[in-house]
């Protein structure tokens, strides 16, 4: 790691006090498997993402207009990143590690967060897509209605018969079967595969 990324993420959030910014173990391998287009592998990657620490990039507002950029220590001039896609839709960015973040923009500041908080921020900002590791090594896309489920504090988990949603916040209900609520996975797969039968695959 180089430059301003050589610090513990706990400087920003004490919950991640011992986090050095490296990608969580096994996460990128799961994302690579999902890139093959296999439905079960994609859901497995979502399960891993739900357990991982992600990084939200914060950049100086207007730095593209001013080469030197504003003072990065002035929080009032820092903002999260939203991309405008070709079809006009908004996409929010997140990264698995500081190396992937620096490959996209070495001047961006990493803010650690869990997937549910990242998804919640994306939904609140009007972004219908969350792009993870935009510059690689593996890029993964999460879309609606998957984002809204995650943003409600739900976590995708493996169940005996496949996958289900586990409430981690105010909801007290047990995990719901992804088979019964398969439309929740909707078009979350950037390869366009149908997740209606999210229970199939590794359901043993």
Q: How far apart are CA 189 and CA 192, in angstroms?
A: 5
In the prediction, which pLDDT does 72 show?
Answer: 45
pLDDT level of residue 8 (50, 70, 90 thresholds)? very low
Q: Which helix (H) or strand (E) holds 114?
A: strand 109-114
How far apart CA 166 and CA 147 sit, in angstroms, is 14
Domains (range + CATH), the chain = 20-65+79-167 (3.40.1350.90)
pLDDT in tens, 168-204: 876 544 444 444 333 343 333 333 333 333 333 333 3
pTM of the predicted structure, to 2 decimals = 0.71
Of 183, 164, 184, nearest to 174 (Cα)? 164
Q: Do 72 and 60 meet the contact criterion of CB atoms below 8 Å apart?
A: yes
pLDDT at 17: 61
Write the pLDDT tens digit of every residue in 58-108.
887 655 434 444 444 444 445 678 888 788 889 999 999 999 999 999 999
> What is the chain's Cα-based Rg?
17
Residues 21 and 5: beta-carbon distance below 8 Å: yes
Residues 20-42 have a mean pLDDT of 93
The pLDDT tens digits of the residues spanning 105-163 come to 999 999 999 999 999 999 999 999 999 999 999 999 999 999 999 999 999 999 999 99
Tokens 């496949």, residue located: 162
In contact, 61 and 75? CB cutoff 8 Å: no
């Amino acid at each position: 790691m180089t430059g301003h990324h050589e610090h513990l993420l706990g400087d920003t959030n004490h919950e991640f006090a011992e986090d050095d910014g490296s990608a969580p173990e096994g996460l990128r391998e799961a994302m690579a498997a999902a890139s093959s287009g296999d439905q079960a592998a994609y859901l497995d990657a979502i399960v891993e993402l739900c357990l991982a620490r992600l990084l939200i990039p914060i950049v100086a507002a207007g730095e593209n207009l001013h080469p030197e950029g504003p003072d990065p220590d002035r929080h009032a001039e820092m903002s999260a990143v939203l991309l405008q896609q070709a079809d006009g839709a908004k996409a929010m960015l997140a990264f698995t590690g500081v190396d992937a973040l620096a490959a996209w923009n070495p001047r961006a500041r990493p803010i650690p967060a869990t997937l549910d908080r990242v998804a919640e921020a994306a939904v609140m900002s009007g972004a219908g897509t969350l792009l993870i590791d935009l510059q690689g090594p593996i890029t993964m896309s999460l879309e609606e209605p998957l984002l809204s489920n995650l943003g409600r504090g739900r976590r995708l988990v493996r169940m005996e018969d496949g996958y289900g949603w586990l409430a981690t916040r105010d909801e007290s209900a047990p995990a719901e079967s992804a088979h019964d609520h398969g439309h929740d996975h909707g078009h979350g797969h950037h390869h366009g595969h149908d997740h209606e039968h999210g229970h199939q695959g590794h359901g043993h």
